[in-house]
Amino acid sequence: MAQIFCIANQKGGVGKTTTTVNLAAALAQLGQRVLMIDLDPQGNATMSSGADKRQLELTVYDVLLESASIAEARIKAGGSCGYDVLGANRELSGAEVELVSLERREKRLRRALQAVDGEYDYVLIDCPPSLSLLTLNGLCAATGIIVPMQCEYFALEGLTDLVNTIRQVHANLNSNLQIIGLLRVMFDPRITLQQQVSEDLKAHFGDKVFNTVIPRNVRLAEAPSHGLPGVVFDGAARGSHAFKAFAAELIRRAAPIGPTGGTGSFSPSAAAATQSAMPSTPLPTES
Stretches 15-23, 55-63, 68-76, 133-141: which one binds ligand ATP (CB under 6 A)?
Answer: 15-23
The smaller minimum CB distance to ligand ATP, of residues 155 and 273, is found at 155
| Rounded Cα–Cα distance for residues 114 and 120 (Å) | 11
Q: Is the separation of the CB atoms in 112 and 16 below 8 Å?
A: no
- Report the nearest approach of Mg ion to the CB of residue 22 (Å): 12
**40 makes contact with ligand ATP (CB under 6 A):** yes
The smaller minimum CB distance to Mg ion, of residues 42 and 265, is found at 42
Query: Where do the H-state alpha helices sit in the chain?
Result: 16-29, 44-47, 60-64, 70-73, 92-100, 108-114, 133-141, 153-172, 192-205, 218-222, 230-233, 238-253, 268-272, 278-280
Pairing of strands 84-86, 178-187: unpaired
**197 makes contact with ligand ATP (CB under 6 A):** no
What residues numbered 1-60 form the site for Mg ion, per CB under 5 A?
Answer: 16-17, 44
User: The dihedral of CA 23, 24, 30, 35: what is its sign?
Assistant: positive
Q: Is the separation of the CB atoms in 168 and 140 below 8 Å?
A: no
The smaller minimum CB distance to ligand ATP, of residues 14 and 141, is found at 14
Choose from ligand ATP, Mg ion, none: what does 216 bind? Cβ within 5-8 Å by kind. ligand ATP
Per CB under 6 A, the list member of 71, 191, 193, 221 interacting with ligand ATP is 221
The smaller minimum CB distance to ligand ATP, of residues 138 and 266, is found at 138
What residues numbered 159-188 form the site for ligand ATP, per CB under 6 A?
Answer: 185-186
| Rounded Cα–Cα distance for residues 264 and 9 (Å) | 25
Which residues sit at the interface with ligand ATP, rule CB under 6 A?
A: 12-18, 40, 42, 44, 129, 185-186, 214, 216-217, 220-221, 224, 239
* Residues binding Mg ion (CB under 5 A): 16-17, 44
